[in-house]
Amino acid sequence: MPRLVFFTIHNTTPWWKYLASQIDFAEVTVLSDLRGEGDRQLVDDFYRFMKTGDPAAVAAARFGDDGCADIILRCRVLRSLDRTLALRMIGAMAQARRRGVDFLEMTTSIIPDQVMLMRRGRPARLREPSEAEIEAATAVLCEPDFAPAYVRDAKRFSVWQFWRVFAHFAIRGAFFNIIRFVRRDPLNLFYLDSLKRLKHKVRVRDAAVLRMLDRNWESRLDEVPRERRVFLGLQLFPEASLDYWLNARDMLAHDDVVMRYCEELGQAGYRIFVKDHPLQFGFRQREIFERLSNLSYVILVPYEVTAGEMIQKCGVSLTFTGTIGFQAALAGLCSIATDPYYATEPDFLQIRNVREISDLGRRLRQWRPTRDIQAARHAMVKHLASISVPGAYITWQKFYASDEADRKAVASLVASLNGCLPGFLKPGKISAMAR
């Protein structure tokens, strides 16, 4: 019988174990990076390799100096640690997890109540969608007030809410700083990522971000024609939206790349309306806003303004991999993006490395859609539907296998996994999945 490994992290084990119990074509092992969870844990193996031999040398031998640098660059926790410790952790984890296993990541799709399977940000084609499915998805995605499920409830952006978020994560960080030693797991990435001292964590002085937003942003729209208005949606920072997905390393310096974009577009006569991701509220450091506020052609739009509003008012969209880029292209805007999983080649203006930004003004002036909007929408949604299958992803939160409603909520996901995962298995091989 084929074998699968489901890799579980904090708070997801009950969900993964139930999914494993419903797989009907393979033997499934639930592997955890926390003691006492899943069928097997790799915690003790990891610390054994940390203490024996030379894990840093193992990392260098397996991935090379360039490969190790790439791993550190693409992990917001490792970036904040001493390089020697980071290398030792890479080597120890490589030994603890080395199994020659095909690794898939599961994440939510832009299409509501569907999921995608990916390898380092590159999607796997899962099926051939029907015309009825394409039409139904297009109708939903083209609604003026459409927003992905994971941002619909992000609507509170007051000063009070900022301090509420700040206090919550300060207390959370202190709690997990204790827990990581109590549980004898001080280097667990989940615990480390909660620590307030990491480089990407918000500080008291970052509350100044709220004072930099332009409440009169709408009056600035009329100063330039719609085709000269650029909606720049800042990126959500978890790795799954940026660090794991972009091929070019130079594009990973998010703030510097945003500045480069704005300078190039401003000098080309465009007005850039910058809006932060709603889920980044309370987590954005002030430096990028300070730098942007010094540019006369940049307007910082308040959090409560929706992406849909900005797409309606602008002629150009600029993002890295965000959902905004897909929504903008569906609406007929020139959508600038970098390696997004949803891009159909003729329908997006792709900037794949920093060098290409210097030519962006010319490319924008010359850009014309290669097909009419209806044909483009059909192609874009068909591609998205072909890499998506039914499944409610957010159901891992507070999941109880004993609850009938929770079981019903994952029924479509179970059916999709049983339907599509066999296609990834080769005889005698093991495949792994993680969220």
Q: What is the pLDDT of residue 431?
A: 67
Q: Are residues 101 and 54 in the same domain?
A: yes
Q: Are residues 281 and 416 in the same domain?
A: no
229-274 pLDDT, tens digit per residue, is 999 999 988 666 788 888 999 999 999 999 999 999 999 999 999 9
User: Whose CA is closest to 239, among 81, 50, 78, 45?
Assistant: 78
Neighbour count for residue 427 (Cβ, 10 Å): 5
Q: What is the pLDDT of residue 225?
A: 96
Q: How many domains does the chain have?
A: 3
Q: What is the pLDDT of residue 152?
A: 66
Indicate whether 147 belongs to any domain: no
Q: Are residues 195 and 211 in the same domain?
A: no
Torsion of CA 317, 320, 324, 325, to 10 degrees: 60
Q: Are residues 290 and 345 in the same domain?
A: yes
Q: What is the pLDDT of residue 328?
A: 96
Q: What is the pLDDT of residue 238?
A: 67
pTM for the model: 0.92
Q: Are residues 424 and 297 in the same domain?
A: no
Q: Are residues 38 and 69 in the same domain?
A: yes
Q: Are residues 302 and 220 in the same domain?
A: yes
Q: Are residues 260 and 401 in the same domain?
A: no
Distances from the Cα of 429 to the Cα of 2, 4, 38, 216, angstroms: 7, 9, 21, 59
Q: Are residues 252 and 298 in the same domain?
A: yes
Confidence of residue 429 (pLDDT cuts 50, 70, 90): low
| Least confident segment among 162-166, 309-313, 340-344 | 340-344
Q: Are residues 14 and 42 in the same domain?
A: yes
350-405 pLDDT, tens digit per residue, is 999 999 999 999 999 999 888 899 999 999 999 999 999 999 888 888 899 999 99
Q: Are residues 292 and 379 in the same domain?
A: yes
Q: What is the pLDDT of residue 78?
A: 95
User: Whose CA is closest to 165, among 174, 152, 156?
Assistant: 156
What lies within 8 Å, CB to CB, of 393 at 6+ separation is 106, 107, 108, 115, 413, 435
- Rounded to 5 degrees, what angle do the CA atoms 193, 195, 196 make? 125
Chain-wide mean pLDDT for the chain?
92
Which amino acid is residue 214, in one-letter code? D
Could you tell me how many residues make up the chain? Answer: 435
Q: Are residues 338 and 369 in the same domain?
A: yes
Residues of the domain holding 257 = 207-385
> What percent of the chain clears pLDDT 90, i.e. is strictly above it?
80
Confidence of residue 430 (pLDDT cuts 50, 70, 90): low
200-219 pLDDT, tens digit per residue, is 899 999 999 999 999 999 99
